[in-house]
Amino acid sequence: MGHDISPIGNHKLNTENIKMLAEDISSRMDINIVYGYYGQEEFFQLLGENRDSDHVILGEIIKDRKFKTYRLKDIHYQLKQLYEKFGEALFFMPEYWMYQYMDVPEQKRIEEEKKLLLFPEFEMNPISGEEIGELTIYKELYANVIPYFSRWWQLCSLFTEYKSVYLKNSESFLEFRTELMRYTLAFGGNKIYYLDDQSKVLEGVGFGDEKELSWAEFEKFVADKTSHLMIDIPMFLTDKDYRSEFKKKGEYPLSFIDDFSDIK
């Protein structure tokens, strides 16, 4: 599997529920939002619901038809519905597990499923315009792969081969950073980390395992694992001495941090 860039930043969005989140995002950005969830047929049956589609629209916020429209989804909405109806008994119902295991799994797997109720997880993607990709919103941080620049190793080469590679790609890299800055600042955040989604040292952080971390825990974890080979992007681009010191290490970076201070 190839290595991709995983941009993860902080936010101050209201993740209490999908309606509040949609309203909060709408108040911060000039976009339209259609919000809802995807459900499974087996779970609709458990809930006593007849649905023609697995995509359920709960509401929409249309600020201006000329604005770009995004779809916002609550990944665990149906699980929350089922838990509200059945309580703890849900996790011991063979009907709930049938599509995966054909029977109730071991306790460890049940506990993993219960944890999904504790950590908000929403996905948002553009459904108008030319953009593809999506961003995932957790309690205190979010991952954004809507803007695209390159794969991980090409990002690294911008800095390890600064004169030959960066200068050729500086304009597209600036556009990438500027778009991430736009989302991050709108969401109330102030920085982005760029991680290798297949990193051997980050233990799944950057590939979804960050969902259970607070922002402070995330920053500490990334620093503990990668600070010796972390590049501060604005510092690297504006400070010749900083750039020279990193190049002396003769190693590829393990992570990048970007507070956009050189482009704000």
Taking only the tens place, the pLDDT of each residue in 17-74 is 999 999 999 999 999 999 999 999 889 999 999 888 899 999 999 999 999 999 999 9
Cβ pair 133, 146 in contact under 8 A: yes
- Cβ(194)–Cβ(7) under 8 Å? yes
Q: Is residue 173 pLDDT above 90, yes or no? A: yes
Q: What is the pLDDT at residue 128?
A: 80
CA–CA dist 163, 166 (Å, integer): 6
Where exactly are the structural domains of the chain? 15-133, 141-258
Q: Is 230 left (phi over 0), alpha (psi -120 to 50) or beta?
A: beta
Is residue 2 predicted with pLDDT exceeding 90? no
pLDDT of residue 100: 73
The closest of 5, 36, 35 to 202, measured between CA atoms, is: 5
Q: Is the pLDDT of residue 161 over 70?
A: yes
